[in-house]
Amino acid sequence: MSGEDLSGLSLLQLFRAELASQSRALIASLLVLERDPVAAEQLEAAMRAAHSLKGAARIVDLMPAVRVAHVMEECLVAAQHGQLRLRHTHIDMLLRGVDLLGALAADAPTAGNTDIERFAETLEAAMRGTDEPVAGGEMEAEAAPLPPALSDGPQANEETPRPGIAPAGSGVANDRMLHISAQSMTRLLGLAGESLIEARRLRPFADGLQRLRRQHGAIARMLDGIRSTFPADERNGHVVQSLDAVRGALEQTRVFLGDRLAEIDAIDRRSTDLANRLYTETLESRMRPFGDGVQHYSRTVRDLSRTLGKPARLQIIGGSTGIDRDILDQLDAPLGHLLRNAIDHGLEPPEQRLTAGKPAEGTIRLEARHNAGMLQIIVADDGGGIDLDRLRAAVLNRRLITEEAVMRLSNAELLEFLFLPGFSMKPIVSDISGRGVGLDAVQVAAKQVRGQVSITTQLGEGTSFLMELPLTLSVIRTLLVEIDAEPYALPLVGITRTLRLSRDAIEQLEGRPHFEMQGRRIGLVTAHELLARGEAPLEGVELSVVVIGAGGVEYGLVVDRFLGERELVVRPLDPRLGKIQDISAAALMEDGTPVLIVDVDDLVRSADKLAGTNNLRGLRRTLSANAAMRRKRVLIVDDSLTVRELQRKLLDANGYEVEVAVDGMDGWNAARGGTYDLVVTDVDMPRMDGIELVTLIKRDPRLGTLPVMIVSYKDREEDRLRGLDAGADYYLTKGSFHDETLLHAVSDLIGPAVE
């Protein structure tokens, strides 16, 4: 292909694109026409589609396709003029024509000319009314003769409009769909996310301006102070006047700055809102109407019902329900399987249905809806349902479970057996034979998109398969952890629980570290070792452990730190990287830092392998080496979350174990309740201020020797003295903890985090 004329190639691609959209419309119309052969509107639409295809095929010089489209058009025109009444045979042939066009467009050079000619002759013969197909042709149109009730044609069951066929297309057609490449979608999402991150930077900037404004206030007060030192008789002097001028200019600056602050606040609000909306909208544009993706099943159901001699129609409900493109793609195979199952095994033969008082034609319902943050897809038939007694017998017969146990199973539990690989009721019953075969594949597919399938059935009334799926694959709830100073995200669905494990609770079993959780023994592995990141530092008395895996294979994964729960938008990794062991995808955090999403199943397997080779020595060694080690504990008391977090991060990053308290009272309670090596406190706080806290600590007989450091905005000498008088060991002004000052001060007072 590569050596061919590129312009010709792109034309063929254009033709394919046109064929894709035209054939969808054509099939939809043909399916309606099968029920109502004189529907003028549909005849017109089908004819126009065939005509357009003929023209398009001529442009790309695909003569066999021109021939096919031409005969189809002739047939439809004849029907339009009333010279021909479309029968099942015609519809069959016309549908086959669409297939043929598809084959021709897909693989232009090899489509056999004989096929084309045979098709044309058969259709022309059918049009002449000599219902006789070309001898020996595999184009034999009429399959098994249909029961009289149906071949009598549409008049027999001429009901109100069929909701299943036309609306699936037309309900969706209100909003035109666009084709967009996956790559440009990824880029759009990336840019939208980036603009959100950029917008979030405005807030800290505005906060910075606010600080500047406060500093201006402080300068103003200083000037006022200077001015008040002048005796009254000098108030008109040259210096005082200059001072007043400066004071005035400063005031103007403050007002100006205030205005800008208000402005930047408004800009921040607007742009954050805008960026949020842009981001959400971009995420949502990954959604596609359900009807759009399942419309082609109408044809599948129709063809299959003809082949099996079981009249059936597909009813699509909730066609406009939004569904993630990726999920829809991955559901294609399982949905097709469920639909085939429903016709093949779900529906009874027409005679039996009539006897049971049902219409000869079965109804397969394909429904999509959003429910409680999940997407539900239902495939239901109005057939005979599953005989639970027979299912019980089949389960017993295969010795899957004891007789006593099988009687205790609820209906739902019993139906679960149908999802077992290779499970079939065949040897027991013939009427629903094969039910269950392949259902395991459906379940696997559902699990792949993080969903599940369940069955409900009512004997004599039908069976319904319910798939519950996440609304989107692109957003995932995760636990963020830190491993080797880098963030990793573990999908919440893969986590059994998280815990802080005391070192005392770790036991050695056959030389491997274990701990007990709800009566089970869980082996410990460090994430460092699993991900080949060297040895874990394993500081502190407690380990952060995530329990992963299920059934008998569970592991306690030791991570450096829990960072919290996050919803992440899943981003693909460069395909050139291939599959990275233990990693499924990547994402971005709020600040734009990349984070890797862990493939938990993979990780469990890796842990299995590591345990098998008895390679967990790293953990054992560090465990014993660090057993006696204790990190110094620091209590931070500050009413500002920002300051608190800043200090906490700074100290934590340097190995100190940090606790926080939100005001003096809280701090006093914490100090009395715990054992700390240092208290770092602010001065101005609600309930109890820092000076009082220091006083209380220093007066306490037990805590008296506990070093206390004051960190305050107040940088006047008298403030400093007040703090030190109360007993503080160190007085540090805020603004200096950005650099190493705080760390040095802490280190001076209590030494490094670990000695």
Partner 1 sequence: MTDATGRASVQEAAAERLLSRPLPSGYREEWARHYAETGTRATYVDEADAERAARNRLVFRIADEWLALPAALVDEVTDPRICHSLPHRRSAYVLGIVNVRGELLVSLSLAALLGIAGSEQARDARGGSVARLVVIVGANGRVALPVDEVHGLHLFAASEVGAVPATIARSTSAFTSSVLAWRGHAVGGLDAAHLLAAIDRAIA
Count of residues engaged in binding partner 1, rule: CB under 8 A: 33
**Is 196 or 726 the residue whose CB approaches partner 1 more closely?**
196
Least Cβ distance, residue 684 to partner 1 (angstroms) = 35
Which of 346-354, 392-400, 450-458, 590-598 is the region at the interface with partner 1 (rule: CB under 8 A)? Answer: 590-598
- Among 386, 595, 693, 750, indicate the residue that binds partner 1 (CB under 8 A): 595
The CA-atom distances, in angstroms, between 701 and each of 696, 698, 740 are: 10, 8, 33
CB of residue 537 vs partner 1: minimum separation in angstroms?
A: 17
Cβ proximity to partner 1, 65 vs 530, nearer residue: 530
Closer to partner 1 by Cβ: residue 612 or 701: 612
Q: Which of 396, 406, 517, 586 binds partner 1 (CB under 8 A)?
A: 586
- Looking at the Cβ atoms of 222 and 532, the one nearer to partner 1 is 532
CB of 583 to partner 1, least distance (A): 7
Q: Are the C-beta atoms of 376 and 453 separated by less than 8 Å?
A: no
Of 566, 542, 555, 557, nearest to 480 (Cα)? 566
Q: Is 118 in the site for partner 1 (CB under 8 A)?
A: no
Closer CB to partner 1, 437 or 598, in the complex: 598
* Choice between 594 and 704, CB closer to partner 1: 594
Q: How far is the CB of 95 from partner 1 (least distance, A)?
A: 40
Q: Hey, is 490 helix, strand or coil?
A: strand
The 3-state DSSP class for residue 486 equals: strand
Which C-beta is closer to partner 1: that of 421 or that of 572? Answer: 572
Q: Quick one: 189 or 328, whose CB is closer to partner 1?
A: 189
Cβ(378)–Cβ(365) below 8 Å: yes
* Among the residue ranges 71-79, 185-193, 262-270, 693-701, the one whose residues contact partner 1 (CB under 8 A): 185-193
Nearest-approach distance from CB 412 to partner 1, in angstroms: 41
Q: Determine the angle formed by the axes of helices 238-284 and 202-228, rounding to 10 degrees.
A: 170
Q: Give me the least distance between CB of 587 and partner 1, in Å please.
A: 8
Q: Which amino acid, residue 341?
A: N
- Please identify, using beta-carbon distances, which residue of 3 and 551 lies nearer to partner 1: 3
Binding to partner 1 (CB under 8 A) within 194-253 occurs at 194, 197
Nearest Cα neighbor of 379 from 297, 311, 299 is 297
Closest approach of Cβ 738 to partner 1, in Å? 16
Rounded to the nearest whole angstrom, what is the least distance from the CB of residue 575 to partner 1 in the complex? 8
| Range 727-746, binding partner 1 (CB under 8 A) | none
Q: Is residue 372 a contact point for partner 1 (CB under 8 A)? A: no
Q: Which amino acid is at 287?
A: M
Identify which of residues 446 and 595 has a Cβ nearer to partner 1 in the complex: 595
Q: Does 182 bind partner 1 (CB under 8 A)?
A: no
Task: Determine phi and psi for 396, rounding to 5 degrees.
Answer: -65, -45
Contact assessment for residue 565 and residue 478, using Cβ atoms and an 8 Å cutoff: yes
Residue nearer to partner 1 on the CB measure, 186 or 642: 186
Residue with Cβ nearer partner 1 (563 or 573): 573
Listed ranges 457-465, 474-482, 528-536, 610-618: which one lies at the site for partner 1 (CB under 8 A): 528-536
Q: Which is nearer to partner 1, 431 or 590 (CB)?
A: 590
- Cβ proximity to partner 1: between 187 and 211 the closer is 187
The enclosing H or E element of 634 equals strand 633-637
Residue of 113, 186, 280, 402 that binds partner 1 (CB under 8 A)? 186
Using CA atoms, how far apart are residues 203 and 198, in angstroms rounded to an integer?
A: 10
Q: Specify the residue for token string 């660090």.
A: 626
Our CB check for partner 1 shows the closer of 267 and 580 to be 580
CB 469 within 8 A of CB 389: no
How near is the Cβ of 643 to partner 1 at its closest, in Å? 24
Residue with the two structure tokens 């080690």: 629
Among residue numbers 71 through 110, which ones bind partner 1 (CB under 8 A)?
A: none
DSSP line for 427-441:
TT-STTTTTTTTHHH
Which listed range, 186-194, 199-207, 232-240, 634-642, lies at the site for partner 1 (CB under 8 A)?
186-194
Please spell the DSSP secondary structure of 25-87, one letter per residue: HHHHHHHHHHH-TT-HHHHHHHHHHHHHHHHHHHHTT-HHHHHHHHHHHHHHHHHHTTS----
User: What is the number of alpha carbons within 13 Å of residue 681 lying toward its C-beta?
Assistant: 35
Residue 190 as a binder of partner 1 (CB under 8 A): the answer is yes
Residues 6 or more apart whose CB falls under 8 angstroms from that of 488 comprise: 480, 481, 482, 527, 559, 595, 596, 597, 598
Judged by CB, which is closer to partner 1: 193, or 311? 193
Q: Which stretch binds partner 1 (CB under 8 A): 22-30, 221-229, 397-405, 526-534?
A: 526-534
Return the SS3 of 470: strand
Residue 287: enclosing H or E segment and its boundaries? strand 287-289
* Tokens of residue 118, six digits: 């045979």
Please report how close the Cβ of residue 291 comes to partner 1 at its closest, in angstroms.
Answer: 32
By rule CB under 8 A, what string of x and - marks binding of each residue 539-578 to partner 1?
--------------------------------xxxxxxxx
Q: Does 593 bind partner 1 (CB under 8 A)?
A: yes
Contact between 347 and 304 (Cβ < 8 Å): no
Element containing residue 24 per DSSP (H, E): helix 6-35
- Angstrom distance (rounded) from CA 290 to CA 324: 9
Task: Tell me: does residue 533 bind partner 1 (CB under 8 A).
Answer: yes
Contact between 534 and partner 1 by CB under 8 A: the answer reads: no
Does 187 contact partner 1 by CB under 8 A? yes
Binding test (CB under 8 A) with partner 1, winner from 243, 466, 583, 743 = 583
Stretch that binds partner 1, among 46-54, 365-373, 579-587, 716-724 (CB under 8 A): 579-587
User: 192 vs 651, which CB is nearer to partner 1?
Assistant: 192
Nearest residue to 671 (alpha-carbon basis) of 663, 683, 662, 679: 679
User: Which stretches of 588-729 are DSSP H helices?
Assistant: 600-612, 617-626, 641-653, 664-673, 690-699, 717-726
Least Cβ distance, residue 246 to partner 1 (angstroms): 11
**DSSP code of 416?**
G
Residue 193 in contact with partner 1, rule: CB under 8 A: yes
> Which among 450, 205, 433 has a CA at the least distance from the CA of 327?
450
- Going residue by residue from 463 to 492, which x/- string records binding to partner 1, judged by CB under 8 A? -----------------------xx-----
Binding of residue 582 to partner 1 (CB under 8 A): yes
Tokens of 588: 């971005």
Does position 594 interact with partner 1 (CB under 8 A)? The reply is yes
What is the distance between the alpha carbons of residues 51 and 69, in angstroms, rounded to a whole number?
Answer: 7
Contacting partner 1 (CB under 8 A), which of 30, 596, 604, 726? 596
Binding segment toward partner 1, per CB under 8 A, in 2-10, 59-67, 181-189, 556-564: 181-189
- The CB-of-695 to partner 1 minimum distance in angstroms stands at 44
- What is the three-state SS of 688-751? CCHHHHHHHHHHCCCCCCCCEEEEECCCCHHHHHHHHHHCCCEEEECCCCCCCHHHHHHHHHHC
Nearer Cβ to partner 1, position 229 or 613?
613
Task: Determine the Cα–Cα distance for residues 569 and 279; give it in Å rounded to an integer.
Answer: 11
Q: In the complex, which residues of this chain contact partner 1 (CB under 8 A)?
A: 186-187, 189-194, 197, 486-487, 531-533, 571-578, 580-583, 586, 588, 592-596
